[in-house]
Chain A
Amino acid sequence: MQKILWGFLSLVSLTVCLFSAVGYFLGKVEASQYKLIFLVSSFGWFIFATLWARQRKN
């Protein structure tokens, strides 16, 4: 169950990374906001993907 959760959250983080850039391209978010969202969701990806990879290994 935890594995699915971490996998889901890591995918969400990666999707947010991508959509922050789409939002900036479409003029919906400012450059500074886009970069901050990208940075925070990148941290999210590394945390959740590492947890997911660890669960998968176990």
Chain B
Amino acid sequence: MTRSHLSSITSRMDKLYEFDREPVLLQKLHSGGRFAGLFAGEHVAATEFVIGAFFVLHGVTANDLIFGLLTGNLLAVLSWTFICAPIAIRTRLTLYWYLRKIAGPGLALIYNLANAILYCILAGAMIAVSATAVGLAFRIKTPSLSDIYPSSVGWVLLTLAIGLLFVILAILGFEKLSRFAEVCSPWVFVVFIAGALAMLPRLGVHPNLDNFWQIATNRIWNGVAAAGQDKFGFAHIMFFAWFCNLAMHVGLSDMALFRYARHWAYGLYSAFGMYPGHMLAWICSGIMVAAVGREMNPGLMAFEAAGLAGAAAVLIAGWTTANPTLYRAGLALQTITPNWPRWKVTLAAGLATTVLSCFPVFFMRLLDYVAIYGLVLMPIGAIVFAEHWLFPLFKLEKYRAEKEGWLLNARALAVWVGTLLVCFLLPIHLFFRWLPGYFIALISYVLLSAMRRKPEKNKHEGKATKKNKDGDEDQDRPCR
């Protein structure tokens, strides 16, 4: 790809994100209640039917589950509060525009494409989850835990049909569907609670709950992993709850949200999403899977627990999760498809997603996929964090990519790729790799930038030129 070609692509990408180019105006800031509502609605999704059930199949004990979820979700809330929100309220920019200042438009483009591919795979998994609900009506067998390739023609036809339906609906009316999703989320949460409650008698829990803990420890989270599944303990659960939204908090993509916050402490509102969605809903899906004989089939679980409404909840939750994901993937891909209208890009992203959804590996290995998703995007968060907070500490010049008109910050790219290589080679469980990786990315980016520090003379010249132009050298963009 030539430099001019890359420049033309990045300028198209800038046009797409033009609407959020400027820092958010003071009068446009949102109240805390709005953040609480946003988080509460966003974190009760189709994935919750699968994740909580997988914890049971991975042989977690009840104590490990509860304490792991309490601490992991607390760490996630603190990551939003102390890592993501402070940078967002100081810059009032989306990650896209801030990354562009730090790493150049070329790296922002690569980041967008990586995000688009990861979004497509996630949407594919959601289509597969929905297919388990529709498959009940047609008696189509859900793939087994170890399946990588489609197990039957029926499964392929089903996922293709549902995927195409989701894509057509996403093309016809993304915004209407988004509003529909807002209506759905409280109901889906009730399906989780009601479904788990209705499954308790089947597991032998008495109406006065006197034997609940005994059943929980012996029949639900009994510490016995299903065949072929790793045994999970406290650390696995804690890390999973922490990194489940890694790209959003430590990876900083929720800067798009928190740039509307009045104060960095608004990050604490993420608890309204974490504890109901990533704790209660996971516990409920664990109860449901135990009651259906530990069969990983979200559609069957919900149908047995709440009848037709339960199966509909799985279908709708998959649909409402896949819809914005397809939209975001389409938005990211629009940069490399010159003059294509949005419907055409969404169709292309949707068709790729639909094909991916046929492969049960993305759905049956969802926990690993969530870990990889966060891991891949995490180094970008570390690079932005380093440039924002650590560069001033070490007296390193910020935003050189923007000031010197770099198409791509080679050091940032090297740190991103290098960190992922090191993480790939680390001899520890996939769930734990991101944490050392984060510190590797932070330290190596600061060191590489310090080694390539500009000579003092040039640095002062550069500063003078820039100050004459807009007078806000090395200042974070203020809230206007």
A residues at B contact (CB < 8 Å): 14, 17-18, 20-22, 24-27, 31, 34-36, 38-39, 42, 45-46, 49-50, 53, 57
**Is B230's CB within 8 Å of the partner chain A?**
no
Grouping DSSP codes into helix (H, G, I), strand (E, B) and loop, the A interface class, with mixed when no group exceeds half, is helix
Residue from A18, A27, A45, A49 in contact with B194 in the complex, judged by beta carbons closer than 8 Å: A18
Q: Please give me the 9 A-B residue pairs with the lowest Cβ-Cβ distance, nearest first.
A: A35-B307, A21-B194, A21-B197, A42-B309, A49-B183, A39-B309, A21-B198, A38-B309, A25-B197
Residue from A34, A39, A42 in contact with B198 in the complex, judged by beta carbons closer than 8 Å: A34
**Chain A residues near B308 (CB, 8 Å)?**
35, 39
Closest B residue by C-beta to A13: B187
* Contact (Cβ within 8 A) B194 A17: yes
In the complex with contacts A35-B308, A49-B183, A53-B182, A25-B195 CB distance below 8 A? no
Residue from B183, B200, B310 in contact with A25 in the complex, judged by beta carbons closer than 8 Å: B200
CA distance A15 to B323 in the complex (A): 28
B216 to chain A, nearest CB (A): 15
CA distance A35 to B311 in the complex (A): 11
B residues at A contact (CB < 8 Å): 179-180, 182-183, 186-187, 190-191, 193-195, 197-198, 200-201, 207, 306-310, 312
**Chain B residues near A57 (CB, 8 Å)?**
179
**Chain A residues near B179 (CB, 8 Å)?**
53, 57
CA distance A57 to B180 in the complex (A): 13
In the complex with contacts A25-B198, A53-B182, A17-B307 CB distance below 8 A? no
**Chain B residues near A31 (CB, 8 Å)?**
198
CA distance A26 to B208 in the complex (A): 8
CA distance A27 to B200 in the complex (A): 11
CA distance A53 to B190 in the complex (A): 19
CA distance A18 to B198 in the complex (A): 10
* Contact (Cβ within 8 A) B306 A35: yes
**Chain B residues near A18 (CB, 8 Å)?**
190, 193-194
In the complex with contacts A14-B187, A38-B194, A25-B201 CB distance below 8 A? yes
Closest A residue by C-beta to B308: A39
In the complex with contacts A21-B198, A35-B306, A53-B182, A46-B187 CB distance below 8 A? yes
* Contact (Cβ within 8 A) B307 A45: no
**Chain B residues near A27 (CB, 8 Å)?**
201, 207
CA distance A36 to B306 in the complex (A): 9
In the complex with contacts A21-B193, A21-B195, A14-B186 CB distance below 8 A? yes
CA distance A17 to B182 in the complex (A): 18
**Chain B residues near A42 (CB, 8 Å)?**
187, 309, 312
**Chain B residues near A50 (CB, 8 Å)?**
180, 183
**Chain B residues near A22 (CB, 8 Å)?**
197
B320 to chain A, nearest CB (A): 13
CA distance A18 to B193 in the complex (A): 8
* A20-B194, A35-B306, A49-B183 given; 13 more Cβ-contact pairs under 8 Å: A17-B191, A17-B309, A21-B197, A21-B198, A22-B197, A34-B198, A35-B309, A38-B307, A39-B307, A42-B187, A42-B312, A46-B183, A53-B182
CA distance A53 to B37 in the complex (A): 14
Q: Can you name 16 A-B pairs with beta carbons within 8 Å?
A: A18-B193, A20-B194, A21-B197, A21-B306, A22-B197, A25-B200, A27-B201, A27-B207, A36-B307, A39-B309, A42-B312, A45-B187, A46-B187, A49-B183, A49-B186, A49-B187
* Contact (Cβ within 8 A) A24 B190: no
**Chain A residues near B309 (CB, 8 Å)?**
17, 35, 38-39, 42
**Chain A residues near B306 (CB, 8 Å)?**
21, 35, 38
**Chain A residues near B201 (CB, 8 Å)?**
24-25, 27
CA distance A10 to B195 in the complex (A): 20
* Contact (Cβ within 8 A) A17 B190: yes
Closest A residue by C-beta to B307: A35
* Contact (Cβ within 8 A) B194 A26: no
B302 to chain A, nearest CB (A): 11
**Chain A residues near B307 (CB, 8 Å)?**
34-36, 38-39
CA distance A35 to B195 in the complex (A): 10
**Chain A residues near B200 (CB, 8 Å)?**
25
In the complex with contacts A35-B309, A38-B194, A38-B306, A26-B207 CB distance below 8 A? yes
